[in-house]
């Protein structure tokens, strides 16, 4: 079936790029831990007529007319998000994860205020105050780290001492390159001790939380939870901010109190930071949240973890050092330079050439440069969507090691490329998960 009939007849250039991407996704294996494949239903919503509509404001309180159906679909997205994460308030308008974080910071803090987040070299995300970001110019970021990079244990004593000294207004738990669970209870108790708001950025693990296989920061009293919707949650690209409590009067700027967080957040997203919401994207979020509420999503989330464990086992047997000693979630950071003598960049390129997409990544306290670090980062959310179980994941991990060890043997790489292609063809990207 040609899904792009109109594009094909009207615009050959864009059609060419689309076809290329279709083929690339079908024939290769996606191991980037922040990527996934959405259902056809999510894509239909994302490509729908809702893209035509301006809907500044919130359901029932908009600045333009004609909102019967945008209100309906945004309310569906909100109610489903609340149910998925067990909270009272959800703002589904952030255009992405970075937008969600900026709005959450803006809701609670004033320029110059201090925020404590995970060290960027130990797994924190760019939006947690990397010097190249705008946020880092606005706020004063202080850090916590792992105590032991071989076990992944966070140094909670140091975290407490830094919090007492620096008095952050917000403590941020969350990561994009950390393979273990955070101790939400510890982080919340430190935040309480210094009077900071506890915010969790669960962008990477939202699907694991929704699927019931990772702990939910709301269960530990966190006041703000932000996430992307397109990683393990398997929705369209987008962001989401959730809180406890209810919106008072969104038309009036409230005092900065915990009770007012829902209102502060709504006002920070719009009109504080964004313009009109992307209603097509919100419709797609509603569809994806509907899918994540199905029992099958729990099975999916559990399988992501089993598959990551299967790959960990192969890497350990192959003598590869892994950050934190392995994984308790969906991703692995492997020190391929330290263990196999292959640089991160060469590993990424070699694996890409055999049909495995992943990214090079610094390993905590890496002494190599960021553009050619010691490690690779990979994960199982996308191949699990494809239907891979432990057996296939074990084989993929074996092929990865084989390719990295034989990076200069072209005929060997060709054989591996062929096996990857056959594996991909055997597990086509599904159209539906319900
Ligand atoms: C991916 C990610 C983001 C940013 O999401 P975008 O949609 O790319 O803006 C923010 N925080 C964390 C922890 C992430 O992993």
State the pLDDT at residue 255: 92
Tokens of 342: 């292959």
The answer to whether residue 238 sits within a structural domain is yes
Cα distance between residue 369 and residue 385, in whole Å:
33
Q: Are 27 and 425 contacting, i.e. CB atoms less than 8 angstroms apart? A: yes
Asked if residue 266 and residue 386 are part of one domain, the reply reads: no
First vs last Cα of the chain: how many Å apart? 21
If one counts the domains in the chain, the total is: 2
Ligand 1 lined by 35 (C-beta under 6 Å): no
**What is the bridge-based pairing of β-strands 356-357 and 331-334?**
unpaired
State the pLDDT at residue 1: 58
Judged on CB neighbours under 10 Å (0-12, 13-18, 19+), 427 is middle
Residue 231 among the catalytic residues? yes
Asked if residue 204 and residue 74 are part of one domain, the reply reads: yes
Residue 293 backbone dihedrals phi, psi, to 5 degrees: -80, -10
Element (H, E) at 225: strand 224-228
Asked if residue 51 and residue 124 are part of one domain, the reply reads: yes
Cα distance between residue 377 and residue 54, in whole Å:
39
Residue 389 among the catalytic residues? no
Single out the catalytic residue among 237, 298, 306, 309.
237
Residue 54 among the catalytic residues? yes
Q: Are 223 and 199 contacting, i.e. CB atoms less than 8 angstroms apart? A: yes
The answer to whether residue 32 sits within a structural domain is no
Asked if residue 282 and residue 141 are part of one domain, the reply reads: yes
Which residues of 323-393 form beta strands (DSSP E)?
A: 331-334, 356-357, 359-361, 375-379
Q: What's the gap in Å between 345 CA and the centre of ligand 1?
A: 22
Asked if residue 277 and residue 353 are part of one domain, the reply reads: no
Asked if residue 308 and residue 263 are part of one domain, the reply reads: no
Nearest CA to ligand 1 atom 10: 97
Asked if residue 162 and residue 283 are part of one domain, the reply reads: yes
Tokens of 428: 């086509």
Query: For residue 131, what is the DSSP state?
Result: T
Ligand 1 lined by 38 (C-beta under 6 Å): no
CATH number of the domain at 79, please. Answer: 3.40.640.10
Judged on CB neighbours under 10 Å (0-12, 13-18, 19+), 246 is exposed
Q: Are 381 and 308 contacting, i.e. CB atoms less than 8 angstroms apart? A: no
DSSP assignments along 160-221, one per residue: HHHHHHH--SEEEEE-SS--S---HHHHHHHHHHHTPEEEEE-TTTHHHHHTTSS--GGGGT
State the pLDDT at residue 337: 97
Residue 201 among the catalytic residues? yes
CATH number of the domain at 312, please. Answer: 3.90.1150.10
Asked if residue 388 and residue 317 are part of one domain, the reply reads: yes
Q: Are 241 and 226 contacting, i.e. CB atoms less than 8 angstroms apart? A: yes
The answer to whether residue 373 sits within a structural domain is yes
Cα distance between residue 325 and residue 311, in whole Å:
13
The answer to whether residue 315 sits within a structural domain is yes
Domain of 412?
296-426
Order of strands across the sheet that contains 359-361: 331-334, 375-379, 359-361
Nearest Cα to Cα of residue 228 among 135, 118, 98, 106: 98
State the pLDDT at residue 103: 97
Judged on CB neighbours under 10 Å (0-12, 13-18, 19+), 337 is buried
Ligand 1 lined by 203 (C-beta under 6 Å): yes
State the pLDDT at residue 421: 95
Cα distance between residue 296 and residue 288, in whole Å:
13
Residue 385 among the catalytic residues? no
Single out the catalytic residue among 30, 74, 119, 201.
201
Spatial neighbors of 303 by CB under 8 A, at least 6 apart, are 384, 389
Cα distance between residue 180 and residue 333, in whole Å:
11
State the pLDDT at residue 250: 66
Among residues 292, 324, 352, the one where a domain terminates is 292
Ligand 1 lined by 127 (C-beta under 6 Å): yes
The answer to whether residue 265 sits within a structural domain is yes
Q: How far is CA 129 from the centre of its chain?
A: 17
Among residues 262, 292, 322, the one where a domain terminates is 292
- Residue by residue, pLDDT tens for the chain (434 residues) are 578 999 999 999 999 999 999 999 999 999 999 999 999 999 999 999 999 999 999 999 999 999 999 999 999 999 999 999 999 999 999 999 999 999 999 999 999 999 999 998 899 999 999 999 999 999 999 999 999 999 999 999 999 999 999 999 999 999 999 999 999 999 999 999 999 999 999 999 999 999 999 999 999 999 999 999 999 999 999 999 999 988 877 677 889 999 999 999 999 999 999 999 999 999 999 999 999 999 999 999 999 999 999 999 999 999 999 999 999 999 999 999 999 999 999 999 999 999 999 999 999 989 999 899 999 999 999 999 999 999 999 999 999 999 999 999 999 999 999 999 999 999 999 999 98
Ligand 1: nearest atom to the Cα of 174: 13
The answer to whether residue 419 sits within a structural domain is yes
Asked if residue 323 and residue 255 are part of one domain, the reply reads: no
The answer to whether residue 22 sits within a structural domain is no
State the pLDDT at residue 195: 97
Asked if residue 358 and residue 240 are part of one domain, the reply reads: no
Q: What's the gap in Å between 416 CA and the centre of ligand 1?
A: 32
Among residues 263, 292, 321, the one where a domain terminates is 292
- List, for residues 367-422, the tens digit of each pLDDT value: 999 899 999 999 999 999 999 999 999 999 999 999 999 999 999 999 999 999 99
Q: What's the gap in Å between 32 CA and the centre of ligand 1?
A: 13
The answer to whether residue 1 sits within a structural domain is no
Single out the catalytic residue among 70, 228, 380, 385.
228
């Amino acid at each position: 079936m040609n899904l792009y009939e109109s594009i094909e007849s009207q615009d050959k250039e864009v059609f060419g790029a689309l076809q290329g991407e279709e083929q690339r996704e079908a024939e290769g294996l996606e191991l980037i831990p922040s990527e996934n494949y959405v259902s056809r239903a999510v894509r239909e919503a994302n490509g729908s007529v809702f893209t035509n509509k301006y809907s500044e404001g919130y359901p029932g309180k908009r600045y333009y007319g004609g909102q019967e159906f945008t209100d309906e679909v945004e309310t569906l997205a909100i109610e489903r998000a609340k149910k998925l994460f067990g909270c009272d308030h959800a703002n589904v308008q952030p255009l992405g994860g970075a937008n969600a974080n900026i709005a959450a910071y803006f809701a609670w803090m004033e320029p110059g205020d201090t925020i404590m987040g995970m060290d960027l070299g130990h797994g924190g995300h760019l939006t947690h105050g990397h010097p190249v970001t705008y946020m880092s110019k606005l706020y004063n970021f202080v850090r916590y780290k792992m105590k032991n990079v071989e076990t992944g244990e966070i140094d909670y004593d140091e975290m407490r001492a830094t919090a007492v000294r620096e008095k952050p207004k917000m403590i941020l738990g969350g990561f994009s390159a950390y393979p273990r669970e955070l101790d939400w209870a510890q982080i919340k108790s430190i935040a309480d001790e210094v009077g900071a708001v506890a915010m969790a950025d669960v962008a990477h693990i939202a699907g694991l939380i929704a699927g019931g296989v990772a702990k939910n920061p709301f269960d530990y009293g966190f006041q703000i939870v932000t996430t992307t919707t397109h990683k393990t949650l398997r929705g369209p690209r987008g962001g989401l901010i959730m809180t406890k409590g209810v919106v008072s009067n969104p038309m009036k700027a409230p005092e900065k109190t915990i009770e007012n967080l829902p209102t502060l957040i709504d006002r920070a997203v719009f009109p504080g930071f964004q313009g009109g919401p992307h209603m097509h994207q919100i419709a797609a979020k509603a569809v994806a949240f509907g899918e994540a509420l199905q029992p099958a999503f729990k099975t999916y989330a559990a399988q992501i973890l089993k598959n990551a464990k299967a790959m960990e086992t192969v890497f350990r047997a192959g003598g590869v050092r892994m950050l934190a000693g392995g994984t308790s979630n969906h991703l692995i950071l492997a020190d391929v330079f330290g263990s196999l003598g292959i640089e991160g960049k060469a590993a990424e390129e070699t694996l890409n050439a055999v049909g495995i997409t992943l990214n090079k990544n610094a390993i905590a306290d890496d002494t190599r440069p960021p553009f050619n670090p010691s490690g690779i980062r990979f994960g199982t959310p996308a191949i699990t969507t494809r239907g891979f179980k432990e057996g296939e994941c074990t084989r993929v991990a074996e092929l990865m090691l084989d390719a990295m060890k034989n990076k200069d043997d072209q005929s060997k790489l060709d054989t591996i490329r062929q096996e990857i292609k056959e594996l991909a063809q055997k597990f086509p990207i599904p159209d539906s998960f319900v």
